[in-house]
Amino acid sequence: MAAPLRIKVLDSHTGGEPTRLVLEGGPDLGAGPLSERVKVFKEQHDAFRTTVEGEPRGSEVMVGALLCAPHEPGCQFGVIFFNNVGYLGMCGHGTIGLVVSLAHLGRIKPGALKIDTPVGPIEAMLHPNGEVSFNNVPSYRREKDLSLYLPGVGDVMCDLAWGGNWFCLIQDHDQKLELANVAQLTDYTSRVRQAVSDSGFPEVDHVELFGPSTTAGVNSRNFVLCPGKAYDRSPCGTGTSAKLACLAADGQLAVGAEWVQESIVGSVFRGKYRKQGDKIIPTITGTAHVMAETTLLADPADPFATGIR
Ligand code: PYC
């Protein structure tokens, strides 16, 4: 009998959104830039992604993070994020989970670090109180007030923005942003994603609805549909970055001013930005907690060793 594949992982959650950090047992993707390594991952080792993320071992909620050697000078770590349906350019909650996991492993102490990702290097900071901040990739709004027609709903106005992933952001809608309403929100945002794709923007794979929060000190509550059908339990670091890019473009948030974004489950990220040319550099702050240190086993005799596909 062939020995099972053994994959050493560390699970954390950031504001309720899980991250599975792969420490050992991952594929050899070579030593090139991370943007090239993610292509090798996709083309030659996609079964590793489905092994870690697919059911019954994984789930649509879990975001995977393959820890790798960096390529960009000055970076101490590299990471490639993936989920049950594909690969993510960047992942904010995952970055916070990664930093807290590295601290748990004793590989970093409070202070600054630089992390290489497929969409560019990012700077992160582990604060002495355990909070994590990261400066995201340059973020910007690409379309303002794009009109979408949703069958059964009518016209909906949205913005399209980049925050390390592509987002469709909607402020004006008739949806209740409550946990009890997740099935309806998932259906609504899935139809928005289809409409955005049909309008010529198939790369926009995250949809973000905004509404008021009842929590003192919070600026806004969101619901974020991730690629696939899962919603982000955290306020979404790349989604909050896309929101900051829109607020900055509309002159609604000053450089350095704080924006507190709450998720649909009530967890919070604090965001602010500085300018870089006609883009912004968002800084996002949040907390994560380690949940499990474990070894995944994938038995070659198991018909679902590489997930239910
Ligand atoms: O926090 O950026 C994020 C994120 C993307 C998908 C899930 N979380």
> What is the per-residue pLDDT across 121-171, written as a single tens digit (0 to 9) for each?
999 999 999 999 999 999 999 999 999 999 888 999 999 999 999 999 999
Atom of ligand 1 minimally distant from the CA of 96: 1
Residue 152: predicted pLDDT:
86
* Low-confidence residues of the chain: pLDDT under 70: none
226 is catalytic: no
158 is catalytic: no
Residue 2: predicted pLDDT:
84
Q: Pocket residues for ligand 1 (CB within 6 Å)?
A: 17, 63, 88, 91-93, 165, 226, 232, 234, 236-238
Say how many C-beta atoms besides its own lie within 10 A of residue 217's C-beta: 10
> What is the per-residue pLDDT across 163-193, written as a single tens digit (0 to 9) for each?
999 999 999 999 999 999 999 999 999 999 9
Q: Give the active site residue among 91, 158, 168, 226.
A: 91
Angle between helices 92-104 and 237-249 (to 10 degrees): 130
Residue 147: predicted pLDDT:
97
Select from 238, 244, 268 the residue to mutate for testing ligand 1; criterion: most ligand atoms less than 8 Å from CB: 238
How far is residue 32 from each of residues 40, 41, 116, 202, measured CA to CA in Å? Answer: 10, 12, 12, 28
> What is the per-residue pLDDT across 75-88, written as a single tens digit (0 to 9) for each?
999 999 999 999 99
| Measured distance CA(226)–CA(185) in Å, rounded | 12
